[in-house]
Amino acid sequence: MTLEIRPFTAADWPAVWAIIQEVIRARETFPYDPDMSSAEARDVWASGRTMVAVLSGKVLGTAKMGPNRGGPGAHIATASFMVAASARGQGVGTGLCREAISWARHEGYAGMQFNAVVATNTAAVSLYEREGFEVIGTVPRAFEHPAHGRVGLHVMFMEF
Amino acid sequence: MTLEIRPFTAADWPAVWAIIQEVIRARETFPYDPDMSSAEARDVWASGRTMVAVLSGKVLGTAKMGPNRGGPGAHIATASFMVAASARGQGVGTGLCREAISWARHEGYAGMQFNAVVATNTAAVSLYEREGFEVIGTVPRAFEHPAHGRVGLHVMFMEF
C-alpha cells in the first residue's frame, strides 16, 4: 500500500484529534498546552491548509501549513507535522514534509520556516535536514521535556 | 514629566490603534498585515497583558506580552512594542521594554524571546541588546522591507 496524502475533511477530525492528543500529552515534541480541548486543538490545527496521511484507510499522520507571518513576512511558509506513535519510522513524516514543501513552492513562497523544533526530537531534526532545512539558531532551555529537562528549541529554515 | 507605564484600558484603544496603524502601514518593523482592521488588531494586541506608555496624558507607545508558546514552552515570555513615530528617540521603547522584562521576571518566566525583529530596525536591535538580549539566529530575507527589499528577521533572546 502506498501512503496517500490528501486534504483533511471534517470526518477525519476524530482520527486527527487522537493523534494530536497523543502527541501533546507526551509533551516531548510540541509546545502546545497538553490539556487543550478538542475545540481549541481544532482551531489551531484545522484553520489553515490541513492534510492527512492515510495508509490502508487509516489516518496515521497530519500536517498543517500556511504563511509563517503576516504582511511583510507572509512570503515565508511554515508547517507542522504529527505522526501517530504506532506509525513512526515508516516514512509518514517524510511524506507529509515533502508534500508541504511541494505545496509551498507551488504557491510561490520563498522559503519555509519551523519556529520551534525540539532539539531532542532528533528524528524530526534529521528528517528536516535531509529535506534541506538548516538550524538557524537554537533558543536554549526553551522547552520543558519530561525526561531531559529544559532543552533547546531550534529555528529551522529552508530557502527555495 | 515622567513616562508613566500603566495597563491598557478600553478607553485607550483609539490612541493605541492609531499607533498600530502607523506602524503596520509603514511596513518597516512588524510582520503584520498592513490592512488589518481595528477588530483584528485588537484581537492581536489587546488579548494578553497590554500596557501603554503615557506622557503628559498622551499615549505614545504600547506593549503586549505573555507566554511565547504553550505547554512545555510556556516558561519563556515574549513581548512586542510599538512607539508613535512622533515620540521616537525619547526612551518610550526602552521604558516599555524594561517594564516587560520586569513583569516577566516577577511572573517567574525563565527568559524572554522576540521571534521576528527586523534586522534593519537597528534602533530596536540596539535597544534589546542594551537590555541584555542577544541574536540567536537570523532568518535570511524573511521580511519584505519597502526600501531595503528582503531583509533578515532576528530571533532574539534573554535568559533571566
Q: How far apart are CA A79 and CA B57, in angstroms?
A: 44
* Cell numbers given for B39: 477588530
Distance, CA of A65 to CA of A105 (rounded, Å): 12
- Structure confidence at residue B32 as a pLDDT band (50, 70, 90): very high
> Residue A148: what are its φ and ψ, rounded to 5°?
-100, -5
Specify the DSSP element, H or E, that contains A59: strand A58-67
In chain A, which residues have their Cβ closer than 8 Å to the Cβ of B142?
A: 68-69, 73, 75-76, 111, 113, 157
> Could you give the CA distance from residue B125 to residue B154 in angstroms, rounded to a whole number?
9
Q: Is A31 on the interface with B (CB under 8 A)?
A: yes
| Chain B nearest C-alpha distance from A14 (Å) | 22
Q: What is the number of other CB atoms lying within 10 angstroms of the CB of residue A145? A: 17
Question: In B, which residues are within 8 Å of A140 by CB distance?
Answer: 157, 159
> Mean pLDDT across the stretch B100-120?
98
Mean pLDDT of A33-50: 97
Q: Quote ipTM for the complex.
A: 0.96
Give B92's pLDDT tier (boundaries 50, 70, 90): very high
- Listing DSSP states for A70-138 in one string gives SGGGTTEEEEEEEE-GGGTTSSHHHHHHHHHHHHHHHHT-SEEEEEEEETT-HHHHHHHHHHT-EEEEE
- Contact with chain B for residue A72, Cβ under 8 A: yes
Q: What is the pLDDT of residue A86?
A: 95
Share of chain B above pLDDT 90, in %: 97
Answer yes or no: are the C-beta atoms of B116 and B124 closer than 8 Å: no
User: How are beta strands B149-159 and B134-145 bridged, if at all?
Assistant: antiparallel
State the first-to-last Cα distance of chain B, in angstroms, to the nearest integer.
31
The dihedral sign for the CA sequence B22, B27, B32, B38? positive
Query: In this structure, what is the dihedral angle of CA atoms B150, A158, A135, B105, given to the nearest 10 degrees?
Result: 50
**SS3 state of residue B81:** strand
Averaged confidence pLDDT in chain A: 97
pLDDT of residue A107: 98
Q: Which tens digits make up the pLDDT trace of B59-91? A: 999 999 999 999 999 999 999 999 999 999 899
Whether pLDDT at A80 is above 90: yes
Q: A111 touching B, CB under 8 A?
A: yes
Burial (CB count within 10 angstroms: exposed 0-12, middle 13-18, buried 19+), residue A26: middle
Exposure string of B121-130, with b = 16+ CB inside 10 Å and e = fewer, is: beebbebbee
**To the nearest whole percent, how much of chain A has pLDDT over 90?**
97
> What structural domains and CATH numbers belong to chain A?
4-159 (3.40.630.30)
Identify whether the C-beta of residue A68 lies closer than 8 Å to the C-beta of residue A76: yes
User: Which residues, numbered 118 to 147 in chain A, qualify as contacts with chain B under a Cβ-Cβ cut-off of 8 Å?
Assistant: 135-145
Nearest-neighbour CA in chain A from B54: distance (Å): 28
pLDDT bucket at A1, cuts 50 / 70 / 90: low
The residue-averaged pLDDT of B23-42 equals: 98
pLDDT digits (tens, 9 = 90+) for B51-67: 999 999 999 999 999 99
At B128, is the pLDDT very low, low, confident or very high (cuts 50, 70, 90)?
A: very high
Region B8-30: mean pLDDT is 98
- Cβ atoms A148, B130 nearer than 8 A: no
| The predicted structure's pLDDT at residue B1 | 67
| B24 CB within 8 Å of a chain A CB | yes
Return d(Cα A108, Cα A106) in angstroms, integer.
Answer: 5
* Minimal-distance CA residue of chain B relative to A152: B73
Which grid coordinates belong to A18? 487522537
Mean pLDDT of chain B: 97
> Touching check for A74 and chain B: CB below 8 Å?
yes
